């Protein structure tokens, strides 16, 4: 998390990294995409990478106020999954949006709403049924 005094960004910005406004001059900056790591402890290398990217796109001074790391869960085929739970059909599933979630969510939310309210089918590429196996 960084403090960028007087930046006044109201929207998520994306150019190599995300800059997400949190309020009060604070912003979440991210993320790196290392697929091999020992644990979810933040690394100096990743911090430097993010700071360098931020310096490339931002002319305003900033201060790092927190440095966190996390493991990003994912789906095998890196696509969202929507539909009814295969065993408990009273449960609907809307998940797996990943890093593109901010831009994909409205499109797939409409698909899910149409499915739940009108029975319109869900695109096969994101239908949870793609993971069902036959016995």
- d(C-alpha 77, C-alpha 50), whole Å: 27
Residue 22 phi/psi, 5-degree rounding, is -110, -10
pLDDT digits (tens, 9 = 90+) for 33-43: 877 888 889 99
**Closest of 36, 69, 32 to residue 49, by C-alpha:** 32
Whole-structure pTM value: 0.66
By the 10 Å C-beta count (0-12 exposed, 13-18 middle, 19+ buried), 108 is classed as: buried
Q: How many helices and strands in the chain, by DSSP H and E?
A: 2, 7
Considering only residues 66 and 104, tell me which one the structure prediction assigns the higher pLDDT.
66
Share of the chain above pLDDT 90, in %: 65
- Position 134 scores a pLDDT of 52
User: What residue spans define the domains of the chain?
Assistant: 2-64, 81-131
Give the model's confidence band at 135: pLDDT under 50 very low, under 70 low, under 90 confident, else very high.
Answer: very low
User: Measured between alpha carbons, how far is residue 128 from residues 91, 109, 117 in Å?
Assistant: 12, 14, 18
pLDDT greater than 90 at residue 28: yes
pLDDT digits (tens, 9 = 90+) for 89-134: 899 999 988 777 778 899 999 999 999 999 999 999 999 999 886 5
- d(C-alpha 14, C-alpha 86), whole Å: 36
């Amino acid at each position: 998390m960084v403090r960028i005094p007087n930046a006044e960004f109201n929207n998520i910005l994306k150019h190599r990294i995300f800059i997400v406004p949190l309020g009060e001059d604070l912003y979440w900056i991210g993320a790196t995409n290392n697929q091999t790591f020992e644990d979810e402890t933040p690394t100096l290398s990743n911090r430097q990478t993010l700071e360098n990217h931020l310096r490339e796109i931002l002319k305003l001074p900033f201060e790092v106020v927190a440095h966190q790391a996390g493991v990003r869960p994912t789906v095998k085929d890196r696509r969202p999954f929507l539909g009814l739970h295969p065993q408990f059909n009273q449960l609907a599933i809307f998940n797996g949006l990943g890093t593109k979630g901010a831009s994909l969510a409205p499109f797939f939310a409409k698909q899910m709403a149409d499915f739940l309210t009108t029975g319109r089918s869900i695109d096969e590429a994101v239908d949870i049924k793609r993971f069902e196996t036959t016995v």
